Amino acid sequence: MTRWTELLDLLVAGTAGEPPPFVTTLGLPPPTRWEPGCVWMDWEVDPGVLHERQAVFGGFIAALADSALSLSAMTVMKDDEAFTTSNLQVSFFRPAPLGRLQIEARVVHRGRRMVHVEATFTREDGKVAAVATATQVIIPSTD
């Protein structure tokens, strides 16, 4: 167990304390469960992030993706490591309307200096709305 996995346990349990301001402002969901290399999230679409065609604004999907992908990277971090997103790509396949989105984010590869992660956004009807990929750069801790 690392400080990162302890934090994931607290997030899943809802006892992690006050989240960072951006999480509160954007209303980003916590993980519902995790295991090494993977996290799952459920998000009830907020009508406030719909565009004029009644689907989730793509920029919000990108914010959800960055959050989920970062959480998946946490599952493979050591205590003396931090990380930051160095790139993020989102491919949109179909609209995400009102309802629930299931998000599964997983580590594709963890190297010495980078973690490659991927997330799939699935609608209630089982169809994939989007897939996101990112590279997380590992930063040695200065503590």
Closest by CA position to 70, among listed 141, 118, 123? 118
Based on the structure, what is the number of domains in the chain?
1
Q: Give CA–CA dist 71/20, Å, rounded.
A: 14
For the entire predicted model, the pTM comes to: 0.94
- For residue 12, give every residue at least 6 positions away whose Cβ sits within 8 Å of its Cβ, in sequence order, or none: 30, 31, 32, 33, 34
96-138 pLDDT, tens digit per residue, is: 999 999 999 999 999 999 999 999 999 999 999 999 999 999 9
Q: Give CA–CA dist 96/23, Å, rounded.
A: 20
Q: Give CA–CA dist 87/103, Å, rounded.
A: 19
Range of the domain at 74: 3-140
CATH number of the domain at 15, please: 3.10.129.10
DSSP H or E stretch at residue 29: none
> Does the pLDDT of residue 140 top 90, yes or no?
no
